[in-house]
Amino acid sequence: MEPFNERRMILEMIAEGKISAAEGEQLLRALEESFAEEEFGLPEAEPVNAPASAVLPASGQGFPAVLPALAPQPRSRAEMMEALVDALREAGVEELTISDLQELMMRNVTAEYVRELRALGIAPGDLGDWLELREHNITPLYVRELRTLGIKGLDADALIELSESNVSPKFIAELQTLGLDELSIDDLVELSNHGISPRYIAELRSLGLEDLDVDELIELGNHDVSPKFIAEIRALGLADLEVDELIELSNHEVSPQYIKSMRALGLEDLDYEQLIELSSNDVSPRYAAEVIEAAGKPFSAEELIELRQNDVSPKFLRELREQGLLETLAFDELIEMAEAHVPARLLKKLKR
């Protein structure tokens, strides 16, 4: 039988519990010695009798006074696999195959790694969890740093989720310097997943938004409500808006530039509700400018919304104006003519 197959049988017997790790180690060593003799015909080493006159040269004449210790020799793969089997069994993983051990070794899940995490209280009984921990680069140092920061409830699943969401000890420490020191693992994951950085929170606080909870921070971030957006909106006189109102403005694309453009058309006293209504009804600054120019007169926010809702075009207004009818029609009549699609020329004939 080939030495590799014999070694594999021994490891399988260890994994299945048919023999102890110590017994397996004896068998593996005996196998290696037997293989060396068969392969290379190595004879037993004979003692060397040195002459009595042979002495080591004094220090400084070729050899140091104290010979350095030999570097520790690396363990064989078989010994590493045996140690890993023992460590995993201590962690509660009972069923192991040679394929499992090969995959664990390939992913650099070692006995030392298993025992260090166990010492930190991380001891999943499922083989897949150990592979996941290693794949997500969950190191003992990472666990210790999280514990030092007071993070509770750490298990394999929580660590993997934190790592997947790029929650670093630095991220947590910076949040804690802002007073957010009682966040749950779910809170940390949500903040990181939605790109809510400590810097973003600090900038919001500098604008007076100091008591925001996790949900509010995430809502603001999700709707692209930046500190710059808030500062510019406030500079335009909208200083007392709640978090929900800021989110609504951003959702409806009511930007500082939108407000400035509307004010340039004479709509200077628009409040929060009017801005939302104008934008919701697709009253853009361009449309407003075109209908005002075509009519030769201003419109209120409510009138602009009604014109847009009834598809009143600048062309229609211009034709009414050219026919001399625009000044004679009440606004309600104008809307009625537009709804009925009455041409300006026909309307002029009817007015005679």
Per-domain residue ranges for the chain?
165-222
Higher pLDDT, 183 or 77: 183
**Rounded to whole angstroms, how far apart are CA atoms 94 and 279?**
64
pTM for this predicted structure: 0.70
Could you tell me which residues come within 8 angstroms of residue 11 by beta carbon, excluding any fewer than 6 positions away? 24, 78, 81, 82, 98, 101
Q: State the distance between the two ends of the chain, measured CA to CA, in whole angstroms.
A: 116
What percentage of the chain has pLDDT greater than the value 70?
76
pLDDT tens digits, residue range 1-22?
455 566 667 766 666 666 766 6
* Residue position matching structure tokens 């664990």: 104
Q: How many CA atoms lie within 13 A of 326 on its CB side?
A: 18
**Rounded to whole angstroms, how far apart are CA atoms 255 and 229?**
8
Q: Evaluate whether 113 touches 84 at the Cβ level (below 8 Å).
A: no
Q: Evaluate whether 249 touches 233 at the Cβ level (below 8 Å).
A: yes
**Rounded to whole angstroms, how far apart are CA atoms 17 and 31?**
20
In this structure, the dihedral spanned by the alpha carbons of residues 253, 254, 260 and 264, taken in order and rounded to 10 degrees, is: 90
Strand partners, 63: 59
Residue 178: predicted pLDDT: 96
Asked if residue 38 has pLDDT above 70, the reply is no
Higher pLDDT, 273 or 37: 273
**Rounded to whole angstroms, how far apart are CA atoms 189 and 175?**
13
Cα 265 to chain centroid, rounded: 44
Classify residue 167 by burial, with Cβ atoms within 10 Å: 0-12, 13-18, 19+: buried
Residue 348: predicted pLDDT: 57
**For 57-66, 250-259, 287-296, 311-320, which range has the lowest pLDDT when averaged over its residues?**
57-66
Higher pLDDT, 168 or 70: 168
